[in-house]
Chain A
């Protein structure tokens, strides 16, 4: 479904972050994208959404090059970045203006997600704190029902109760048709919902395995001491 074919990318020419990097991601899984700072997690997410063009190679989504930014691809891909801006309008207006561009948008579910976060539905986006805006934006993102949802540090800016609400919120929105990729350092906030772990470091995929296989390999024994 998502094919990253031999991409080479760097913010500076002489210092590539990815060099002939390839990866294939399957549909219907929740991926956790982990790694140290500066290893290219956010860069990978941006490349998957067509925000960055690799110098070589291609990123394809369902056979289409993401870099072309075709509406048919973009309406099925949604990215929740770490930082974002919302216009100074009511949430009702925001949904009315933006939802027609996503054919699978579910307004009823949008309000369910807001309820999950204890957010009222008759609010003005300009009056919200950053954490509240994040809840609204993530609710909208999940309600678009795009087949690919990318989230960069989704729990950043959420308070402790909200992080618990986030887990319920994601459980509500996960379906077999959706592929979700979550890039995060706060693994403890999302560990229970992850199905596949990806760890990248220095242009290498250090780990690319389902959680079930990882847990099968690990065993815990109580010592006699």
Chain B
């Protein structure tokens, strides 16, 4: 018997995790979809009505595409952080801990099951919600009596359409790294995980900034002249790639750290 990972057992566990919580997941998906739909409709109403139906379609996609993408980004960040914070909901109280920790699956299978539902599952539901909400928006504003021209949302193209995608790739890596910290936070705080993780991250960020400024103030005076070396484009590109790769590795490391924290979970919390 494979005590680390068995695909059949893992499939059964995924099914169990989903079917025992399907009501909660359905409610969360509906809430997410509703928020996206309301924001899309509101933004369309706000923008299209003020254009008097007489506007240009630039660059091949809807004039409010950028705004819709920003809305998606904000909703994705908030919802993903909240959803990830609930990743360890199965051990949020004593009763649930007893059941989940003694359930006959390996810690790796239990963790991967949660990860798949809360990462892959969330992204799929989010994308489905965005495209469904967008479809409804298009249907509403494509009615024959309206003289609007609407186009479907172009989600990723808006972010990665520029010739030089390296800064965006690095920013995306940093963004995913910060979000992964909510998964780690869920292993420390199963109750109010989102709030506690946000506060912790805020405290760490403020402390980091204060330390950096403190060190900089100590080392450099207003009269100091700093000559930074001028880097060639090739060197800059390499630095971008290295920074992006390191950030992705750090993101994976955070998820691995969350796994080990979960693996060591007992009936009581130990710090």
Contacts and interface: CB of A to CB of B under 8 A. Distances in A.
A79 B99 CA distance: 8
B106 A71 contact: yes
A14 to B, nearest CB: 15
Given A46-B267, A85-B96, A51 B20 contact: no
A85 B266 CA distance: 18
Interface in B12-64: 12-13, 15-16, 19-21, 23
Nearest to A84: B95
Contacts of A63: none
Interface residues of B, number: 31
Contacts of B99: 84-85
Interface residues of A, number: 29
Contacts of B104: 71, 74-75, 101-102
B101 A69 contact: yes
Contacts of A87: 20-21
Contacts of A69: 101-102, 106-107
A73 to B, nearest CB: 8
A183 to B, nearest CB: 14
B219 interface: no
A161 to B, nearest CB: 26
Interface string B76-111: 000000000000000001111111011111110100
A18 interface: no
Contact of A71 (B3, B21, B97, B264): B3
20 contacts: A46-B267, A49-B102, A51-B97, A51-B101, A51-B102, A52-B266, A71-B9, A71-B106, A79-B98, A79-B102, A83-B94, A85-B93, A85-B96, A85-B99, A97-B12, A97-B20, A100-B12, A101-B9, A101-B13, A101-B104
Interface of A: 11, 46, 49-53, 69-72, 74-75, 77-79, 81, 83-85, 87-89, 93, 97-98, 100-102
Interface of B: 1, 3, 6, 9, 12-13, 15-16, 19-21, 23, 93-99, 101-107, 109, 264, 266-268
Given A51-B102, A71-B6, A74-B104, 9 more contacts: A52-B266, A53-B266, A69-B106, A75-B104, A83-B94, A97-B20, A98-B16, A101-B12, A101-B104
